[in-house]
Amino acid sequence: MITVWHYLVVAAVLFGIGLVGFLTRRNMITMFLCAEMMLQGVAINFAAFARYHGNLHGQVFVLFIVAVAACEAGIALALFLMLYRRAKTLDVSSWQELREVGVPPTVDTESLPPVPAEPADPQLSPAGRKPAPTAEETVRV
């Protein structure tokens, strides 16, 4: 039989993996996904305790968490796209100019690799000679 402790262990593992991922990664998308994983661990706790106590209060909180997570995902995707268009990277250490006034910049112990130059668009080779214009085309010109 599955008890409330089983749910709590799964939720704690989810929260722990999300916390470790959030603290060790530098990519914004990975950090966002780890934060969502922590949020889902909390949602499992709410649902487990709601079932354990026999009321629906925790499940209502889970519905709000899922709704907020969906809205947050849309806003985060738009933010990531705009930040990537501006600097061509999603590394959080390259966004030092977004900090508050008076807060000293965070210095990384390892330097970032250089941003590779974007390759030029491919050029198609010509398929042959251009055909001679027809009589109708020469009349229009």
Domain boundaries of the chain, sorted by first residue: 4-96
Which CATH fold would you assign to the domain 4-96?
Helix Hairpins (1.10.287)
- Residue 136 sits at φ, ψ, to 5 deg, of -65, -40
Per-residue pLDDT at 45 exceeds 80: yes
**Whole-number Å distance between alpha carbons of 89 and 77:** 14
Q: 86-141: per-residue pLDDT in tens?
A: 888 888 777 777 788 888 877 777 776 777 787 887 777 777 777 788 888 777 65
Task: Please list, in sequence order, all residues whose beta carbon lies within 8 angstroms of the beta carbon of residue 21, skipping any fewer than 6 positions away.
Answer: 30, 31, 33, 34, 37
Report if pTM > 0.75. no
Q: 94-107: per-residue pLDDT in tens?
A: 777 778 888 887 77
Residue with the bigger pLDDT between 67 and 104: it is 67
